Amino acid sequence: MVSARVEVSGLDPWRLGGELWAADYRGSRATRLPGLCFSGPNLIPLRGNASALRLFADRALRKQRICSSLVGPAEQVLGLWDELSPEWGPAREVRADQPLMAMESQPAVAPDQQVRAVRPEELDRYLPAAISMFIEEVGVDPRAGDGGASYRARVAELIAGGRAFARFEGGEVVFKAEIGALSRGVGQIQGVWVHPDRRGRGLGTAGTAAVVNRLVNGMGRTASLYVNSFNAPALAAYRRLGFQQVGRYATVLF
């Protein structure tokens, strides 16, 4: 997520849409930064031990919270939340165990040939499915606050970039997924959703296979995603596709 931003925008905070913080270990001669954290719409601690996380917490607490969540490697997220929770708590939800999965080969399930990139003129047909997915996954309505203008703009941006995919039946979306963050080496699949009336029929697995195929074979990237550990059906489906767990994420939602 952070690499994708830096590769496009560099480190200038205005273009980056946030700040990249490095832990200042005075006297350290290490060539690799021991602590790194992105502060923007999300607060993302990328690496760092307890000392680094305290430094990041101190900086974050100097001003009012602007991020909507903490997300990233579980050890760092949960450690940073321990530092921040006395001031920022309680959280709306803490998802402490989210397997981070990846694959860089052809999916083991045949891709759904009816899943394709969404066209710009299909935004209004695609948007209700995106909103439904967001409410189910995050627990809040993305239209709150500004009537949905900012969320609509974000979805339109993904569609314009050829990174929103759907299967339409009778003009209605029955499967959708997006490629969110896209760095030079990795694409992150997000927003996987199947219409409630069509669940349990394999649409999600075959549809996700189509997006994996686009990433791996069409874009030459590793496909990645993360999923809640309690979502057993999704975990089983991703493993059938060929995804393997490569790490553990956590998310703190406000």
Written as tens digits, the pLDDT of the chain (254 aa) is: 999 999 999 999 999 999 999 987 665 565 677 899 999 999 999 999 999 999 999 999 999 999 999 999 999 999 999 999 999 989 999 999 999 999 999 999 999 999 999 999 999 999 999 999 999 999 999 999 899 999 999 999 999 999 999 999 999 999 999 999 999 999 999 999 999 999 999 999 999 999 999 999 999 999 999 999 999 999 999 999 999 999 999 999 99
C-alpha dist (Å) from residue 191 to 163, 175, 225: 11, 10, 10
Cα–Cα distance, 51 to 84 (Å, whole number): 14
Q: Where does CATH 3.40.630.30 sit in the chain?
A: 116-247
Whether the CA torsion 61, 30, 102, 231 is positive or negative: it is negative
Cα–Cα distance, 95 to 248 (Å, whole number): 11
CATH 3.40.630.30 matches 116-247:
yes
Q: Output the pTM of the full model.
A: 0.91
Residue type at 138? V
Quote the pLDDT of residue 24. Answer: 72
Quote the pLDDT of residue 29. Answer: 60
Strands 93-103 and 244-253: antiparallel
Quote the pLDDT of residue 243. Answer: 98
Give the residue from 248, 254, 227 showing the smallest Cα distance to 239. Answer: 227
Q: Any idea what the Cα angle at residue 135 is, between residues 129 and 141, rounded to 5°?
A: 105
Cα–Cα distance, 197 to 174 (Å, whole number): 8
The answer to whether residues 239 and 203 touch, using CB atoms and an 8 Å cutoff, is: no
Quote the pLDDT of residue 32. Answer: 72
